[in-house]
Chains A and B, each alone.
Chain A
Amino acid sequence: MTNILLVEDSRISRETIASRIACSPDYLLLASIENAANAEIACMNGKIGLILMDVCTADDESGLRAAASIKKHLPGIKIIIMTSMPEHSFLRKAQACGCDGFWYKEYGDAELLDVCGRVMAGEPVWPDDTPAIAVGGAVSRDFTERELAVLRELALGRRYDEIADDLGITSNTVKYHIKNLLQKTGYRSTLQLVVDAVDKKLILPKY
């Protein structure tokens, strides 16, 4: 029997996930919390074996940040990151902070309990790709990593010279990437581009 800590700030999602966990004899939902920043404290008693961690939690606390800290101090605890946001960087960030699995709440066919079982058996479970999101006339998978990095900086309201500094490229290269982004999407301004990318949750810089 594995004790689960559920970190999820939406009551409806919490109850749905809790009812799925209740269906399995292999798991016990030991605690549910809304704020990812409290997760590490809840794990310090050594009873939690698996955390189901949402990314965007109460008080704007990032589940990814909390997961990184837990993996550093309590590496034995398995963590599955869950999200309904198609933000393209979440998958990479979850891998970078040592999480064990990733589950899209609203995309793909993976069943939560199946993902939990595979993770607890020691298998890393990662979706093949982030969900494809239409941005203007393009699909998110049409963008290069560099273009997405520039788009993220634009969404933070950074100027071209600041973007160049942050990414270690020249201002002309920044303009080149932006020109390509506009060409691919068919948008005439960076504002249209950023508004659509943020509206579709392809970019959520706060997390």
Chain B
Amino acid sequence: MHNPEPIERILQKYPLARRDILIPILQTIQDEVGFLSEEALVKVGKHLKMPTSKIYSLATFYNQFRFQPKGKYHIRVCHGSSCHVMGAVSLIETLEQSLGIKSGQTTRNGLFSLEVVTCMGACSKSPVIEINNKHYSTKSAEDLKKLIENYKAQN
């Protein structure tokens, strides 16, 4: 699916096998490749002389790491306490229904991926939805459906 070279290139940047560089390595891989593949985890384990299971357990602990590639349109929905009372729940449900995926997953055609985040810090604009760095503060489920349809129609 993807080129294995970037992972080796990234690992070369961290020649010392020290535990405290594990998180930065994983972050760099995710930034460049978009997600952590099984293959990447095994390679990082070999590089740091750590069991892959340890690395997987660390990666699953933190919210940042994802194990599926991002979709063409990456949707982030804020589910902070302010967005919650402003109707984020029904927006998340609408998205899950119309895309057929849950948070952290990607649609089969690779078009959309969904991520529910705790708080984007823009409580004055709640509820907040971000699609590929473009922000929307849409309140009704109908509007959101139209928005998604628009994105679908672009392809």
Do A and B belong to a common assembly?
no
Residues of chain A touching chain B, judged by Cβ–Cβ distance below 8 Å, are none
Residues of chain B touching chain A, judged by Cβ–Cβ distance below 8 Å, are none
